[in-house]
Amino acid sequence: MNASQVVDELFRVFAERGHRSYGERVTEQMHALQCATLARERNESPEVVAACLLHDFGHLLHSLGEDVADHGIDARHEQVGANCLSKWFGPSVVEPIRLHAASKRYLCWSEPEYFSGLSAASRKSLALQGGPMNAEEASDFESGAFFREALRVRRFDDLGKDPELQTPPLEAFRLLLESLVCVGGIADSQAAGA
């Protein structure tokens, strides 16, 4: 599968399931586009922008329903999404995705006022994800290679919930995603030039 086909597959999943409610008055696709658009507008790296677009991809892969958290289930969407996306993207995209739920737990520990700014849906999922970290968990988290990038993805995740915010379509992110697709561990664009 080349880079264009990988992005076609990602966009197919968004087309089929992106209409699902995110639980914040926006759809999954609206949320993804808002996060990525805000990251791009703030000149984040291509990897962070891609991670923002794809951070909740795991929600699109399960069939547990749109209200899974309301039933007390943590679908571990961050792990599901990261595991799937690791077939096509390197750690600089995948690991911030894997860590974005842990980032919320970390921020609730490191910035006590952060919790009060969380939406009701984010508070519900926080409880299912283990609640705020303790000092030992936070220290382990801070030692991770993609700790800072994961926090940036988390901040955009918190912002991308505005039902009025207009964004470009998914296609506006195609070239960025294609440039980051890896084939056998080598970026597809590099492999094509070899």
How is the chain split into domains, by residue range?
A: 3-188
Length of the chain: 194
Phi-psi region of 183 (alpha: psi -120 to 50; beta: other; left: phi over 0): beta
pLDDT tens by residue, 72-126: 444 567 888 899 999 999 999 999 999 998 999 999 999 989 999 888 778 888 8
pLDDT tens by residue, 124-174: 888 888 899 999 999 999 999 999 999 999 999 999 999 999 999 999 999
Print burial letters for 2-31: b (CB count within 10 Å at least 16), e (below 16): ebeebbeebbeebeebbeeebbbebbbbbb
* Long-range Cβ contact pairs of 126-134 (< 8 A, separation 24 or more): 128/69, 128/72, 128/73, 128/74, 129/74, 129/101, 129/102, 129/104, 129/105, 130/105, 131/105, 132/105, 132/108, 133/102, 133/105, 133/106, 133/108, 133/109, 134/109
Read off the pLDDT band of 191 (50, 70, 90). Answer: very low
Selected from 3.40.50.2000, 3.40.50.300, 2.40.110.10, 1.10.3210.10, the CATH number assigned to the domain covering 3-188 reads: 1.10.3210.10
